[in-house]
Structure 1
Amino acid sequence: MEGQMCSKWAYGALTALHIATLAGHHEAADILLQHGAYVNVQDAVFFTPLHIASYNGNEQVAKLLLKFGADVNASGEVGDRPLHLAAAKGLLGIVKLLMGEGSKANVNAQDNEDHVPLHFCARFGHHEIVRFLLQGNFELQPHSVNIYGDTPLHLACYNGKFEAGKEIIQLSGTESLSKENIFSETALHSACTYGKDLEMVKFLLSQNAMNINHQGRDGHTALHSACFHGHIRLVQFLLDSGAGHEPGCLRSQQVQRGEG
């Protein structure tokens, strides 16, 4: 068993410092660093010990690594920085450490799909981190898009994370509301695709940044999105709120029922 574990660690290119960090052993990591362990050593997926501490939420070890000069902007195999990982996991304490004076992670760093950390905390609904990043003096670009054209607001809406989406709009304005992704969907379309949070749709419409009948580049409206995904309560609300009776919407309902 011991041989198998050692073989597995060697295959993953994990060093003793990686293992000490993974296990949360602050004293062991400290001794290794004091004896010359390379703080920015990378494993098979280019994760440094700081990546591991950030993902696991080990603030004590993260502080130690930063003290020894850990690169706060080191890139993993798919371009993910420690800040991406902490934002995705909702680890506000780690995020604050990484954004602290003397560390200052690049809040606009992009992974291989052009996600910035704000994309991840919006997608997973970590609105406290959304608020912290938007309220800080970090020169954050809140309306940036990934390779699919999604803003952080899109991802909040697609995943039904109302509080995160509301924070983005209230703290950064309505610019993201008019942006369409590669699927011709705005944030309103996205919320109607999700379709399970009527309050989120109401809030987006209350911003008066877009007509309820706005058509994406391919011609479909928020009503089409709601119909296609079978969100009957939302369809009724949109119709009552002035959404048009589009032929395409009827066709979408027929497809959902298996007619024609």
Structure 2
Amino acid sequence: MDSPNEGGAPPQISGERDLEKGFRAEHFWPSPSPSPRAPALVVSNSSKALIVSNSGKRFDQSGKKKYVRQVTGRYNDTELHLAAQKGDVAAVTEILGEIDEQMLKTLRVAEFDAGVAEIREAVVNEVNELGETALYIAAEKGFIDVMKELLPYSTREGIRMKNRSGFDPLHIAASRGHHDIVQLLLDHDPELTRQGHADIVKALLEMDRHLARKTDKKGQTALHMAVKGVSSAVVRLLLQADPAIVMLPDKFGNIALHIATRKKRAEIVIELLRLRDTNVNALTRDQKTTI
């Protein structure tokens, strides 16, 4: 969208202060009709600001951010929320691609990478009135291809964010039986195991008990992750599935007991010590004991 007054500052519009306070904004930027799809990204050429309407973020040159709410759906959804709701991978890809296209018109090459990364992150991790990101919606609906498009730009906080009902993407995917998406999320962020979702861990182990032995790039199993948390129930489920994992070391030689004692997880240490296979004299690569 070009500036109304090309080459100069945009004119003052009545009600703009209300817009910046978060009031409804259809009279400034009308809600897009289903066809053709309105541009998801609007970046002003004004020297004062870059406005990204679908993420609701205004980036000015002083580095400050102002909140501008763009209403596009029932729950103040963005274009990206609506694309995720439909499982429309092409629309998701187009929305993310428009960020590159628009930013190229407004930023110098040196600023481009950082600017695009910041705005793309804001767009992907935007929440609607239900506290849901586009990633959450895709996880709930079971749209794994949309998930794959969004995950590279999702922040750690965005992936773990709970909606108003207390569900995060991992939990909602498991409750809907989308095991492929649960596995995708765990592959992307193995530490999600430590959040204490015993029901999710149980469902995964029922699907494949060998998952307890799967390791990440640091050589850590789900047990290594679980003992960093506070859920003894998750630890018990993993040990019941495969007691021998209690002695599996990560690439630094840490077994689960090393980590649990280091984190001072007393209840979990007791769970680990109940197993006959647990060796309290196990050493890490730098010769540290478990206690």
The counterpart of 1:38, out of the listed 146, 156, 172, is 146
The amino acid of 2:137's aligned partner reads A
Q: Quick check: which one's helix share is greater?
A: 1
Aligned: 1:181 with 2:290: no
The amino acid of 2:263's aligned partner reads N
Distance (whole Å) between structure 2 residues aligned to residue 35 and residue 161 of structure 1: 37
Specify whether residues 117 and 62 from structure 1 end up closer, same or farther in structure 2 by C-alpha distance, changes over 3 A only: same
Aligned: 1:158 with 2:262: yes
Specify whether residues 149 and 10 from structure 1 end up closer, same or farther in structure 2 by C-alpha distance, changes over 3 A only: same
Give the 5 Å matches for 1:1-260. Answer: 2-4=56-58, 10-12=119-121, 15=124, 23-24=131-132, 29=137, 33=141, 38-44=146-152, 52=160, 57-58=167-168, 61-63=172-174, 66-67=177-178, 69-70=180-181, 72-73=183-184, 75-76=187-188, 80-81=189-190, 84-85=191-192, 87-101=193-207, 106-135=211-240, 137-138=241-242, 141-170=245-274, 172-188=275-291
Distance (whole Å) between structure 1 residues aligned to residue 144 and residue 153 of structure 2: 22
SS in 1 for 2:151: coil
Please list every run of 5 or more consecutive structure 1 residues that lacks an aligned counterpart in the other structure: 189-260
Instruction: Report Cα offsets for 1:173-200 as digits up to 9, x if no partner.
Output: 2443231012312213xxxxxxxxxxxx
- Say whether the 8 Å CA contact 1:149–1:181 is kept in structure 2: yes
Distance (whole Å) between structure 1 residues aligned to residue 253 and residue 286 of structure 2: 8
Distance (whole Å) between structure 2 residues aligned to residue 113 and residue 15 of structure 1: 28
SS in 1 for 2:251: coil
Specify whether residues 53 and 161 from structure 1 end up closer, same or farther in structure 2 by C-alpha distance, changes over 3 A only: same
* Bigger Cα Rg: 2
SS in 1 for 2:237: helix
SS in 1 for 2:257: helix
Distance (whole Å) between structure 1 residues aligned to residue 252 and residue 143 of structure 2: 46
Instruction: Report Cα offsets for 1:91-149 as digits up to 9, x if no partner.
Output: 22332233343x768222222222211112213342121111111x3576221112221
Distance (whole Å) between structure 2 residues aligned to residue 162 and residue 35 of structure 1: 40
Offset of residue 63 of structure 1: 3.2
Instruction: Report Cα offsets for 1:188-231 as digits up to 9, x if no partner.
Output: 3xxxxxxxxxxxxxxxxxxxxxxxxxxxxxxxxxxxxxxxxxxx
Instruction: Report Cα offsets for 1:14-71 as digits up to 9, x if no partner.
Output: 659x967x93489x837994889634444236889x96479x8537622366438426
Distance (whole Å) between structure 2 residues aligned to residue 31 and residue 185 of structure 1: 41
Given the two structures, how large is their TM-score scaled by the length of structure 1?
A: 0.50
Please list every run of 5 or more consecutive structure 2 residues that lacks an aligned counterpart in the other structure: 1-50, 59-66, 68-98, 100-115
- Say whether the 8 Å CA contact 1:57–1:91 is kept in structure 2: no
SS in 2 for 1:182: coil
Offset of residue 3 of structure 1: 3.4
Aligned position for 1:201? none
Distance (whole Å) between structure 2 residues aligned to residue 140 and residue 13 of structure 1: 43
Given the two structures, how large is their TM-score scaled by the length of structure 2?
A: 0.46
SS in 2 for 1:141: helix
SS in 1 for 2:227: helix
- Say whether the 8 Å CA contact 2:232–2:271 is kept in structure 1: yes
Give the alignment's Cα RMSD to 1 decimal. Answer: 4.5
The amino acid of 2:121's aligned partner reads G
Aligned length: 176
